[in-house]
Structures are given as structure tokens and as C-alpha cells.
Amino acid sequence: MEILRNIPKSEVLHLGDLVAYADGQVVSKTLVQNNGLGLTLFAFAKDEGISTHESKGDAMVVALDGKGRITIDGKDYELAAGDTIVMPANHPHAVYGLEPFKMLLVVAFPENEKL
């Protein structure tokens, strides 16, 4: 059973190249989605975002390109390529592209938690 999908194997990659920007859109590419782990690449066009929501798992954002804003519990954090932040489980958070912004989202779900 293939767990990691939508990504070449045994090849050196630049993660940001695996998801493309699209004007006026948020583009996502799922690499892993199961009961314990989610890995998703995102490309946010400038001024596009994901509205405030909560996750049942801790969510780590790794900025790959551009500049974005992460809001956690109403507090804003700016990220640029190379920056990382963890959005704790069960806390409201949102993501916004201050300019075109790419990120890897890693969500670790508690044992026995359903997606």
C-alpha cells in the first residue's frame, strides 16, 4: 500500500516546485492523509487564504516560498521561506498569503483520532 503519493521517490526534490500558483486561488496537493498524519503542500495566491478553523491535530507549517501570515488564537505571525510555526491542536488558526506563498503543512493527529 502506497502511503506517500503525488511525489516522485528516490529523487532529490524542491518541495515548492511540486505545487503551482494559480491567480486568485489556493492550490493544494496531498502527499499523505491517514488517521495519524497529514502532509499537504499549499500555494496561496497573493491575498488568498484559509479562514479561521481548528484541527484535532498539531499542525506544523514550513514556509517554502514567498511570505504568509499565520493567525493563531487571534495573534498574527509572519512567515517567509525557511520559517516554521506550530499551530496547536484545538486552537483557532488561519493562513493568508501576504504575497504568493507556498508552504508544507504537517498535521500529526492523536492516536485513535478520526480525520
Cell numbers representing residue 104 in the block: 508544507
Rounded CA gap, 102 and 51, in Å? 16
16-27 tens-digit pLDDT: 999 999 999 999
pLDDT of residue 91: 97
Is the confidence at residue 74, as pLDDT, over 90?
Answer: yes
Q: What is the per-residue pLDDT across 9-63, written as a single tens digit (0 to 9) for each?
A: 899 999 999 999 999 999 999 999 888 899 999 999 999 999 999 999 999 999 9
Percent of the chain with pLDDT over 70: 95
Assess whether pLDDT exceeds 70 at residue 114: no
- List of E strands, the chain: 26-33, 37-44, 49-53, 58-72, 75-80, 84-87, 93-108
DSSP class of 45 = P
CA 71/CA 52 separation, integer angstroms: 8
Q: 26-33 and 75-80 as β-strands: parallel, antiparallel, unpaired?
A: unpaired
Query: Can you give the pLDDT at residue 106?
Result: 96
Measured at the CA of 75, the angle between CA 104 and CA 73, to 5 degrees, comes to 80
Sequence-distant (6+) residues with CB within 8 A of 2 are none
